Structure 1
Amino acid sequence: MRLKDKVSVVTGGAEGIGRETAIRLAKEGSKVIVSDFNEELGELTVRDIQESGGEARFFKADVTSFEQVEALVEFTVQTFGNIHVMFNNAGIGITKPFLDHSPEDYHKVVNVNQHGVYYGMLAAARKMKDLGTEGVIINNASVFGFVGTLGITGYQAAKGAVVMLTKHGALELAPHGIRVVGIGPAAVNTKIVQGYRDAGLLEYMKKQQLTRKLIEPEEIAAVTAFLATDEARSLNGSIVMADDGFASFKSDIRP
């Protein structure tokens, strides 16, 4: 119960990493606001938490709207009295070759994956400062904010921006007692890798990781929950690479 008496917000909490992180945070003792555009699946995450003895509520929000993200943060404080953890997790992906990737594709992904993170950081940090809360903002970056891969132009651009937003936010917000840290998954077994499946690239992606398999969302949730705890206070402005060696061990040439 390392997060007892804490209040956490998870965007993109209906499925995948967001859902598993919301469940893990609740198991660690945090009250959780689950947010997503998918109300049905978001409410299911909340029910699963409640049935396991945790406290959770759902708030529908589109992270591409700053006003809706502000309303999410305000709802959190009105519901549970504070906000200690903001996990900016909501993300989408479009997989196409660069020359087929349109400006519309690019902006759709960047609006969610980059602007949504910025909005979550800004809204949460302002509220934490107003409340005098020593909080932590966790951004879901990606190994693809550091290394190039095929077919995900907008995703790469957005995740690279999230890496720098994390560093910049940590510097700006440290005087207010607010940590900003990121997590850098590689290929995780969620719907976001469907584009790789469709393109016949999933086995290639698995081989880029040392275990030669997809990472499970529960594994990312465990790392994210640790970053939310006081035990992780020395981690600030950095991206924790939960990538199964994807970015580090390219000298490995095993078949």
Structure 2
Amino acid sequence: MDLNIKDRTDLLTGAGNGIGEACAHAFANEGCRVVVTDVSAEAAERVAAEINAAGGLALGIQMDVCCKESVRFGVARVEKEWGTIDVLFNNAGFSRDNAVETMTNEQWSTVLDVNLTGQSHCIREVVPGMSRQGFGRIVNMASRAHFGELNKSNYAAAKAGVIGMTKALSLELGPRGITVNAVAPGIIETERVRNLPQFSGMEERALANMPIKRIGRPKEVAAAVLFLSSAHAGFISGETLHISGGRYG
């Protein structure tokens, strides 16, 4: 199936590793101009260099989604070099797990800032250009954690907020030709997840609790993000696509 996304300009946050990196390569393979952003300049530039070396077209930019000025600078640079951003994948994420009674204000606010407020910063910067051209695709990173997970009240609140924001913005931006959707992965085997001390336990729980008896792969999330960014998803907005092996809650 031709996704019909060639030559679009796609900005991805948190694309220096994991799911974001997989999505960056997937967009590049479809002929898109890929803006790889990450809080780590080194990571963003590495992924962009890999795409360019493979014959794609990518730009690596250091961007801190928590900082409005950083986001504004990054978007302005892209618009100057490549024009209006057609697709935004709000992928940057961060977790600081703790029991509610011992969770610090910093742990709460940082997780909300990165996972929810940071997405809003990016959306507010790209929407004017998308509105002028009458087209845009926004895909926000949620998580199966929005159902609630132990010692993750901050993260669950942020991801539930992402889903609410996605629904509200689909109403607001739909008349301008902009769709807004979210993806909600379950356990995905990224390098960060593999390095967790409890990774082997995650695999056991996946086999016990999930209808599809394995952990997900970054490329499977990338496939969903590409679809929601494509011409085939033009009548889909305000939705959250769970990529969680059939497990809900």
Q: Which residue of 2 aligns with 1:251?
A: none
Is the contact between residue 84 and residue 133 of structure 1 (CA under 8 Å) also seen in structure 2?
no
Shift of residue 209, structure 1, vs aligned partner: 2.5
Is the contact between residue 11 and residue 35 of structure 2 (CA under 8 Å) also seen in structure 1?
yes
Render the CA deviation track for 1:20-41: whole Å, top value 9, x for unaligned: 0011011111101000011112
Q: Do the aligned partners of residues 209 and 32 (structure 1) sit closer, same or farther apart at CA in structure 2, a change above 3 Å counting?
A: same
Q: Which residue of 1 aligns with 2:177?
A: 177
Q: Which residue of 2 aligns with 1:209?
A: 210
Shift of residue 179, structure 1, vs aligned partner: 0.6
Alignment match of 2:104 (pick from 91, 102, 118):
102
Q: How far apart, in 1, do the equivalents of 2:194 and 2:102 lie?
A: 18
Q: Which residue of 1 aligns with 2:71?
A: 69
Shift of residue 125, structure 1, vs aligned partner: 0.9
- The answer to whether structure 1 residue 152 and structure 2 residue 174 are counterparts is no
Is the contact between residue 92 and residue 192 of structure 1 (CA under 8 Å) also seen in structure 2?
no
Is the contact between residue 98 and residue 151 of structure 1 (CA under 8 Å) also seen in structure 2?
yes
1:23-62 equivalent positions in 2, closer than 5 A: 23-62=25-64
Q: Which residue of 1 aligns with 2:141?
A: 140
Is the contact between residue 196 and residue 202 of structure 1 (CA under 8 Å) also seen in structure 2?
no
Q: Which residue of 2 aligns with 1:221?
A: 222
Long gaps (5+) in structure 2 = none
Q: Do the aligned partners of residues 75 and 232 (structure 1) sit closer, same or farther apart at CA in structure 2, a change above 3 Å counting?
A: same
Q: Which residue of 1 aligns with 2:24?
A: 22
Please state whether the residue corresponding to 2:243 is helix, strand or coil: coil
Is the contact between residue 203 and residue 215 of structure 2 (CA under 8 Å) also seen in structure 1?
no
Q: Do the aligned partners of residues 98 and 198 (structure 1) sit closer, same or farther apart at CA in structure 2, a change above 3 Å counting?
A: farther
Render the CA deviation track for 1:17-68: whole Å, top value 9, x for unaligned: 1000011011111101000011112111111111221100011110001121
Is the contact between residue 7 and residue 85 of structure 1 (CA under 8 Å) also seen in structure 2?
yes
Long gaps (5+) in structure 1 = 249-255
Is the contact between residue 14 and residue 92 of structure 2 (CA under 8 Å) also seen in structure 1?
yes
Q: Do the aligned partners of residues 194 and 116 (structure 1) sit closer, same or farther apart at CA in structure 2, a change above 3 Å counting?
A: farther
Q: Which residue of 1 aligns with 2:247?
A: 246
Q: How far apart, in 1, do the equivalents of 2:171 and 2:10 lie?
A: 22
Q: How far apart, in 1, do the equivalents of 2:127 and 2:209 lie?
A: 36
Q: TM-score, normalised by structure 2?
A: 0.92
Render the CA deviation track for 1:118-151: whole Å, top value 9, x for unaligned: 111111112212x324011110111112x12112
* Comparing 239-248 and 200-209, the one that deviates more: 200-209
Matched residues, number: 246
Render the CA deviation track for 1:188-218: whole Å, top value 9, x for unaligned: 1125547964498524642332223221111
RMSD, aligned α-carbons: 1.9
* Comparing 5-14 and 73-82, the one that deviates more: 73-82
Identity of aligned residues (%): 30
Q: How far apart, in 2, do the equivalents of 1:189 and 1:211 lie?
A: 14
Render the CA deviation track for 1:73-103: whole Å, top value 9, x for unaligned: 1111112122100000000112223333222
Q: Do the aligned partners of residues 192 and 205 (structure 1) sit closer, same or farther apart at CA in structure 2, a change above 3 Å counting?
A: farther
Q: How far apart, in 2, do the equivalents of 1:104 and 1:66 lie?
A: 19
- The answer to whether structure 1 residue 78 and structure 2 residue 80 are counterparts is yes
Is the contact between residue 135 and residue 178 of structure 1 (CA under 8 Å) also seen in structure 2?
yes
Q: How far apart, in 2, do the equivalents of 1:229 and 1:111 lie?
A: 29
Q: Do the aligned partners of residues 184 and 150 (structure 1) sit closer, same or farther apart at CA in structure 2, a change above 3 Å counting?
A: same
Q: Do the aligned partners of residues 59 and 86 (structure 1) sit closer, same or farther apart at CA in structure 2, a change above 3 Å counting?
A: same
Q: Do the aligned partners of residues 100 and 193 (structure 1) sit closer, same or farther apart at CA in structure 2, a change above 3 Å counting?
A: farther
Letter aligned with residue 217 of structure 2: E
Q: TM-score, normalised by structure 1?
A: 0.90
